[in-house]
Amino acid sequence: MGCLIYSDPHEDGYVQGDTFPNGAWRPKDGVQRGSVADMPIYPGDPLTPGIGATKNAKRLPVKDAPTITKIPVLPISYGDAQPLLAALTGRVAPEAWRGGLGITYHVGPGAAKVHLKVKSNWEPLKPVYDVIAKIPGSSFPDEWVIRGNHHDAWVNGAEDPTSGMVAVLEEGRALGELLKAGWKPKRTIILCAWDGEEPGLLGSTEWAEEHYDDLRAHAVAYVNSDSNGRGYFGVEGSHTLEKFSNDVARDVSDPETQLSAWKRSRLHEIATAKSADQRKEIRERADLRIPALGSGSDYTAFLQHDGIASLNIGFGGEDGGGIYHSIYDDFYWYTHFSDTDFVYGRALAQTGGTAVMRLADADLLPFEFGNFADTVQTYVKELKALAEKTHDEIRERNREIEEGVFKASDDPRQPLVAPKVETVPPHLNFAPIENAAEEVTRSAAEYHKAFEEANANGGARLASASVAEVNRLLIQSERKLTNSEGLPNRPWFKHQLYAPGFYTGYAVKTVPAVREAIEQKQWKQADEAIAVVAGVLRDEAALISSAAAKLAAK
Ligand SMILES: [Zn+2]
């Protein structure tokens, strides 16, 4: 058995735009590389889960590493995939499975035979090199602001990762100039160039595992970028930093429209909103919502293992994405089809640099809990709706089976497997998580009130000594969203609000233990997970309340 993966022109080839060399999109022979390690279990060195690779760790034998998949896999181009797909017979593929090649897509089986020969490098150990630079903080050297991007690439890597890495280098150069001019950051700034991101987030994960205790004690936030291009500013991450990331984007100018990066993103979101309700919210809400982080770049270990508030930033959307992870991602492509005059590279450095300097120099750290509480409430509503929908779907399907709907509408000459009657699930008890979300909302209001009072009269009180104590609590606010047991089936992932999908990979599943239990129809586990997440949220609310009380104290 083997697995061949190709990128269909429907997603990133001629259906989207002109192909290279006439345009930016993937040509017939473009092959998208990528890791197929089972990273939703844990990323990093497959042989040392949870342990930094340079520690004297006991390594798993390769055959026992759960993240090394056992089926050989190769990526191929659509040029090579087309004859294989054309040889498939059987039922016509469902609409969502059809691509943009000029053939009828079938699900198989078919007559085509493939001779698959995979040669892998199984040398057991190979060094990867992280580059770490540190500017010690002048007032709070034990509070660390971390900024990173990876430096390894699948092939040439002009866009991924160099377009992001050069911004971090430029930020480092600018901070160096400021140091020479006499400026010193109040907090410690750590700039990182990660190695081995593409094969499995190796460099960042091993570093974040190795320094786990120190990072849990000292890290304020991690700001990641990966690739950059022409277009709209995008940010994803921790919702305690949602307002902060909006504020940074308000102060960076979009180089091609001269609007602020924030305003351009906002107007773009209105243009692409899916409903009138969505447009209304964008127009009325003070800040743009930021998506949560799943996985796929170096923030993973910081956010989901160490519990450090994280942001992922970049520009893009006006350049074609058809060269991703292929040999075509080179300097020629980048300077012809992406950020051809590097103005968005400068904008990214301005954004990352502004974020880092504000985090490093703020009297009171810019965490905010109103948007966070609002997001938690949204998640709880989504989970309730998901449970309700699953419930209704099972009822409806059972009824249709009883009515004979499937048998009557199936093609007797090409029959499908008939669905089976399922037990109608019990109603879940959402009360614990709803009450906990209310506590978060109440504590967020307390914090907001204390902040408004402290910030009055020019904010003089924000520079007082008691604010340092508030900051120490704020730094722990993301840590509180983790627990030491981690998620069911994957203890490495400790964050209870954000994780990549266990079955779906990269993309985020919010409140994963609850959401995935519902999706998998594991009702008992869903009820248990609701109680666990409610506990985590109550702890978070307690921390926010004590931060509010400290901030309010004279
Ligand atoms: Zn990358």
Kindly report, residue by residue over 363-415, the tens digit of the pLDDT: 999 999 999 999 999 999 999 999 999 999 999 999 999 999 999 999 898 88
User: What sections of 404-522 are H helices per DSSP?
Assistant: 405-409, 431-455, 465-475, 512-519
Query: How far apart are the CA of 162 and the centre of ligand 1, in A?
Result: 9
With 80 as the cut, is the pLDDT of residue 320 above it?
no
Contact (CB, 8 A) for 161 and 225? no
Residue 445 CA to ligand 1 center (angstroms) comes to 38
Residue 460 has pLDDT above 80, yes or no: no
Smallest CA-to-CA distance from 223 within 317, 326, 358, 79 is with 358
Q: Does residue 465 have a pLDDT over 80?
A: no
- Ligand 1: centre distance to CA 308 (Å): 20
pLDDT at 68 over 70: yes
In the chain, pLDDT over 90 holds for what percent of residues? 89
Amino acid at 176: G
Cα(157) to centroid of ligand 1, in Å? 8
Residue 554 pLDDT grade (very low, low, confident, very high; cuts 50, 70, 90): low
pLDDT of residue 307: 98
Question: What pLDDT was estimated at residue 121?
Answer: 83
Quick one: average pLDDT of 286-291? 98
**Helix extents (H) in 294-341:** 299-300, 331-337
Give the rounded percent of residues in the chain with a pLDDT score beyond 70: 99
The alpha carbon of 327 and the centre of ligand 1 are apart by a number of angstroms equal to 14
CA 156 to centroid of ligand 1, rounded, Å = 12
CA separation (Å) from 554 to 215, 297, 411? 31, 43, 76
Residues in CB range of 491: below 8 A, 6 or more apart: 50, 485
Flag whether pLDDT at 518 surpasses 80. Answer: yes
Contacts of range 83-86, beta carbons closer than 8 Å, 24 or more positions apart: 83/112, 84/4, 84/110, 84/112, 84/114
212 C-alpha vs ligand 1 centroid, how far in Å? 23
CA of 203 to the centre of ligand 1 (A): 13
Mean pLDDT of the chain: 95
Rounded to the nearest whole angstrom, what is the distance from the C-alpha of residue 200 to the centroid of ligand 1? Answer: 11
How far does residue 504's CA lie from ligand 1's centre (Å)?
19
Rounded-to-integer distance, Cα 156 and Cα 327, Å: 6
Is the CA virtual torsion 378, 383, 385, 386 positive or negative? Answer: positive
Q: How far apart are the CA of 205 and the centre of ligand 1, in A?
A: 14
Distance CA 400, CA 302 (A): 47
Average pLDDT over residues 540-545: 98
Q: How far is the CA of 227 from the centre of ligand 1 (A)?
A: 6
Predicted pLDDT of residue 463: 72
Q: Using CA atoms, how far apart are residues 550 and 554, in angstroms rounded to an integer?
A: 8
d(CA 285, CA 371): 10
pLDDT band at 284 (very low <50, low <70, confident <90, very high): very high
C-alpha 159 to ligand 1 mean position (Å): 8
Question: Which residues 6+ apart lie within 8 Å of 417 measured at CB?
Answer: none
How far apart are the CA of 150 and the centre of ligand 1, in A?
Answer: 7
237 and 310 Cβ atoms separated by less than 8 Å: yes
**Does residue 174 contact residue 353 with C-beta atoms inside 8 Å?**
yes
Tokens of 113: 């035979």
pLDDT, residue 53, reads 77
Q: What is the mean pLDDT of residues 328-345?
A: 97
What 3-state class would DSSP assign to 72? Answer: coil
Grade residue 418 by pLDDT with cuts at 50, 70 and 90. confident
CA of 67 to the centre of ligand 1 (A): 20
Tell me how far the alpha carbon of residue 198 lies from the centroid of ligand 1, in angstroms.
Answer: 6
Residue 346's pLDDT band (cuts 50, 70, 90): very high
Q: How far is the CA of 28 from the centre of ligand 1 (A)?
A: 23
Give me the mean pLDDT over the 3-14 stretch: 96
In sequence order, what are the residues at sequence separation of 6 or more whose Cβ sits closer than 8 angstroms to the Cβ of residue 364?
Answer: 451, 454, 462, 467, 470, 471, 474, 551
